[in-house]
Structure 1
């Protein structure tokens, strides 16, 4: 199977900030992430981290309206 990873950062300088944001969001929902590959997470855990990230982004956007 070919690796079709489309999760590339358009601004390379933003990579560290995105990783820090992901780690903070994971900690807030009680999911332990390690640096690098986290393929051992359940779908529920991964979804809760992504959901928390979206929630924080929406809150930030609404504050800045």
Structure 2
């Protein structure tokens, strides 16, 4: 199965990368400086991704609430 991770808005890449570091810091997880995630526990990378998704959904819900008013 191939994975398509192409960003729709290319400028979002920097914001998502920043969010990754912020979430990791909140969780107390150290992201490798060399960019190689092979030595990280799957549990840690999953926690980072899950929390990013949770934050993005929360942001989208807040935006949608603004449209309903």
Normalising by structure 1, we get a TM-score of: 0.72
Question: CA offset at residue 17 of structure 1?
Answer: 1.6
Number of residues paired by the alignment? Answer: 62
C-alpha distance in 2 between matches for 1:46 and 1:26: 9
Match of 1:33 among 26, 31, 40: 31
Calculate the aligned-residue CA RMSD, in Å: 2.0
TM-score, normalization by structure 2: 0.69
Q: Which runs of 5+ in 1 are unaligned?
A: none
Task: Pick closer, same or farther for the CA change 1:39–1:14 going to 2, 3 Å.
Answer: same
